[in-house]
A = this chain, B = another copy of it.
Amino acid sequence: MLTNAKLVHQPHDHERCISAALSRAKALCAEQNVRLTTTRELVLRLLWQSHQPLGAYQLQDQLAEHINKPVAPPTVYRALEFLLRLGLIHRIPSLNAYIGCPFPNNEHSNLFMICNQCGTAAEVADKAVNKLLQCVSDRSHFTLQSQSLELFGLCPQCSNITEAPGYD
């Protein structure tokens, strides 16, 4: 099972997450012979500022603040589209939000564990999950092409807080 769950749910050197993501992005763009322009890189950076998915309009605000001039929605959506196409980020449909992918190029499950409390989202890639869903599809003669799997609940930290005995 490939996952960034531990990283996401514990204090860690987040600068490393960011720089790793950026160097992966640069490598991938070079390989694919496409351009990681300033805007695209900035949007990717912004998405990697935390492990919480961000909406397009949050990105718009942050981007505008960053470059110190107004940004129109298409600018953001184009960058997102580009990053999505390369697999550098994911869209989480039930949140209308976007998040950096911690392991692009790997076999994906497109599976996220999203904390209802703190909003963090950890990604999981798991062969057993993929296999089982392939099997479910096969049984119904359904030709599986892609998937989007979202688990909602409480991350370890928020679970502990919630479960802790109160003072009542």
Contacts and interface: CB of A to CB of B under 8 A. Distances in A.
Interface of A: 1, 3, 5-6, 9, 93-94, 111, 113, 115-116, 122, 124, 126, 128-129, 132-133, 136-137, 139-156, 159, 162
B94 A140 contact: no
Interface on chain A toward B: helix, strand, loop, or mixed SS?
mixed
A159 to B, nearest CB: 5
Contact of A147 (B116, B132, B151): B151
A28 to B, nearest CB: 24
6 contacts: A94-B148, A133-B149, A140-B156, A141-B159, A146-B151, A146-B152
A6 B142 CA distance: 10
Given A122-B142, A142-B113, A137 B156 contact: no
A133 B145 contact: no
Nearest to A135: B128
A79 B25 CA distance: 45
